[in-house]
Amino acid sequence: MKRTSCMQCGKSFDPGRADQMFCSNVCGSAWWKAHGTTHTHKDLPHFNSKECEQCGNQFWYNDYAQRGGKRVPKFCSSRCRVRYHRHQKDGIPFDRPYKSEPKRHEQPKARPFKTGDFRDSLHIPRRWTAKDAFEWLGVPYDARKQECQQAMRTLNMRYHPDRNAGAVWPHLVHVNAAWDYLKRNYFN
């Protein structure tokens, strides 16, 4: 390529691309600040057409110099691009729309069970307080850290899904959240 002169400072330089007008990004930004942008990429005329590799619709794109040196697009939209790559990753053929399906080796989870526990009647707090946490653990309000920790461990051992053939006790999450709240905010 032949040497070109910078539009901002007039210094001659070796361009990396055929459409390069400035010797550096500093000169480019200074020139565009002074003169303002006259057009954006999407306002440029579209000269070439191509079919989208995902949906098959025809779309238009710009010449190389007007695309700013970017490669020729393969897809008409980012939605088609994402679908294409998801299909490739999951090995789903293109003749049907993408939909995430459960894996074959996964078995449906067991239904949660009711224990008749007093926690069934407790409300789930949006913001934890010490009072709520002590109630969910089932210990008195003046309990020490060791008592609360033992109550949490006992409930985790009794109702853990590994011990109950995959059945999930719905309150186990709240018991763990109550212990976490007390450990972080109350027992410091």
**Residue 103 pLDDT exceeds 80:** no
Determine the pLDDT at residue 146.
Answer: 94
Share of the chain above pLDDT 70, in %: 74
Nearest one of 184, 172, 167 to 124, comparing CA atoms: 172
- Average pLDDT in the 70-84 region? 82
Determine the pLDDT at residue 175.
Answer: 92
pLDDT tens-digit series, residues 14-54: 887 767 888 888 888 888 778 776 555 555 555 677 888 88
Determine the pLDDT at residue 177.
Answer: 92
**Residue 115 pLDDT exceeds 70:** no
Cβ-based burial of 169 (10 A; exposed 0-12, middle 13-18, buried ≥19): buried
Q: By the 8 A CB rule, do 14 and 3 touch?
A: yes
Q: Domains in the chain, ordered, with CATH?
A: 4-34 (no CATH), 42-90 (no CATH), 118-186 (1.10.287.110)
Determine the pLDDT at residue 105.
Answer: 52
Q: How confident is the model at residue 69 (pLDDT cuts 50, 70, 90)?
A: low
Residue type, 159: Y
CA distances from 163 to 111, 123, 151, 159, 166 (A): 15, 26, 17, 7, 7
**Residue 1 pLDDT exceeds 70:** no
Six-digit token pair at 20?
């390069």
Determine the pLDDT at residue 50.
Answer: 82
Determine the pLDDT at residue 154.
Answer: 93
Distance CA 179, CA 5 (A): 69
pLDDT tens-digit series, residues 121-172: 888 888 999 999 999 999 999 999 999 999 999 999 988 888 888 888 888 8
Instruction: Tell the residue number behind the tokens 């550096």, with chain if given.
Output: 24
Q: How confident is the model at residue 98 (pLDDT cuts 50, 70, 90)?
A: very low
